[in-house]
Structure 1
Amino acid sequence: MLGALAQAGGAVDDCAEAAPWALSDDELLASLDATHRMAQRLATVQLGLVRELDARGLAVAQGASSTAVWLRERLRLSGRSARQLVQLAATVDAAPSAVCDAMIAGAITVEQGRVLAETIAALPVEAGPEVADKATQLLIAWADRFDPTILSRLGDRVLTHVAPDLADQAELAALERAAEQAEARRHVTLSEQQDGQVRLSGSLDTETASLLREAIDPLCAPAGAHDDRSPGQRRADALGEICRLALRTGHLPDSGGDRPQVVVTVSLDALVNGVRAGALETGARLTPGAVRRLACDAAVLPAVLGGNSQVLDVGRQRRLFTGPLRRALVLRDGGCAFPGCDRPSRWCDGHHVQHWADGGATALGNAVLLCGHHHRLIHQGDWRVRIGSDGLPDFLPPRWLDPLRTPRRNLYHRRC
């Protein structure tokens, strides 16, 4: 084997010395295919060596605690990569010989081989060797057309093609096992970070995840041509809007209501001038901009502090833009009033054109409906909103977008 590998190494040297720029388009594509196929074949040979090394216990005999630890040191791999290599070698070794032969021939990739091996190993025992052989041949044929992800999905239904009488029973058993595991492992964690963020992590069962997707997906579309948020940022904003809607319904237990109930501790002077941070009941700190946004259309309990930070008054709950005033605002704007936005009114908050902390009135002539994304955008200050002479909101774009700052309006909600 060493002699053959030395010859292969010489061939690699010859390839490395060749100039890719001198190849024709057809030669370039063919060379790429050939190098990929050769790399997969060599990777399969390496897996066989790793499996033999692990079976002999050679790594442990040389003083290592495991084969993965030994490979990490010898091949200078990360611990994760070394463990995956050992596991992959064992998985492929247990696969039918047809799968290993296809990998050696370069007909399928190592990743496809892993998918095939795991799929065949998961077949029910009652399927028998004949069904397993049929499934193997069908999966190898599919591998010529599909990548590992799609191949894995097709593999979940392979019995439908080779043993229909067993497919329904096997699928039901697999679904029940997966559902039990998902239910047992479900969790959601909110972790305070040091950088002003809260990390949201967790695991949901398929049913709950489908509900979350159905609620989030309609809110994840880009809000206009100039929406530069990443998909992850749009999902985060959508989750926030869903929480606002839930709080708005008034059907949540205990502290639920038709607006978020937020207690912000900040001096009145700091709120008006927007120069100091505020604090929530949890102790988390908020920027002045965030405080003013929350105060814009939320049920806020302002804790007014004196100069030496003693509590002078905890005011009554202020319900802003609710009741008849909100209904009038919805009738006028129809939904988010920002140009081009199609968010409906139920996803929107009322925004003071002149902030109430600056003396702005809670009145229809000083209000505009905005979705969560555009509410934040307006508070950032690049865009400006005003109420026109006809009582409808105008939006003035920033100068970098339109030097003339030509007023724009949303015609979407008045298209009928």
Structure 2
Amino acid sequence: MTELAHHPYLAGAESLVAVLDSMVDLQPAFLPEPDQRRALQVMRAVASRALAMEAMLMAAAGGVAEADGHRDVAAWLAHRSHASLAAGRRAQRLGDACDRRWQHLGRALVTGCVDVDQGHVIVAALDDLAAAATLVDVGVEEWGRVLALAEAHLVEQAAEFGPRELRRLGERILAVVAPELAEQLEEKELEAAEQRARRRTSLRIQHLGDGTALIRARVPESVALRLTTSLEAFTNPRHAEGRCGSDGETVPYDRRLGEAFCSLLECLDPARLPLHGGDATTLVITMDLAALVEGLGAATLADGSRITAGEARRMACTADLVPAVLGTRSVPLDLGRTARLFSPGQRKALALRDRECRAQGCSIPSTWTEAHHLEPWSRGGRTDLANAVLLCSRHHHLIHADRYLHDRMPNGDIRFARRR
């Protein structure tokens, strides 16, 4: 009675083992350099194709795991071969994706046109795109065509780009294969992201019992950028002078940020807190005027992050978009005792007059300074230009510190001296 012949698939797999056995005693160190170059490429291609075929086999061998009571093929294989279960699960996910959804990619993997590392990246990009079907207004048949075009394009680009570049291409693949849908999808994704950000927003204050408190906050990115913009006005990262304390010691940046946060809170006008919390920090938002008016599309913040046009319109409610002319009746330069804080118009006028911090020898530009009352407002000092001078955060702290004396020079500069 003749032994039944093996299936060609199994026969081929066993022949690969036989070939590898024949190579065990060969020493690659004795290969000439040109042959080593070629052998490296061949071995990588063979290894990638073998991994791809293993992944496809795992996708088809679910009955094996079920028969032996294992959760899946990856668990069965890890038990039999003592291999990594995590690596097995990753391979099985690749095989399942290519078997059920991305057959063109699967064919490219087993034929060696796409490396298995590239395959994982392409599957992730295509699955993300497929999951966005509910966010675009398009029929099932048309969306299927878009997905097929995306798969074909990424497989084609695998001949030129590695996993890292393919990941970036995958993030913007819709703009390549269906640009008319890309803007619609981006707007929907940004809206969803902003809604998630609002739901996840939180702030906790933990009093540590040593005179300090720990503040932990999770806020939307646009709010974080607004806070960063405000704090940088106090930390003044462009100049080295603000990096030293009053005693000349180097101050770590995280401490300067903390001190800036405290200064920001001290500058808030309590009388306005119920209304809005103070004048909104100016943010640079790039977008079409029509998009701002209609509330459709997306906008770009100064750090490159994107928000919806609707969110930009909401922010515009607290940061007036109006033309301003210094010195007109609509922008008073002298408020006398009617207000404690200097107005934006007065700040502009002070910037034109002082140009930089008026502490003797300090060159911090006016953009990063604070307006100081020469005669304190609490003692009857007026909020007007004659009673104002611009000081950087460091010198503004020093002028209120008991350990320093200060006097005003004939040219208007402030001279400091440590008390003896």
Larger Rg: 2
Q: TM-score, normalised by structure 2?
A: 0.48
Q: TM-score, normalised by structure 1?
A: 0.48
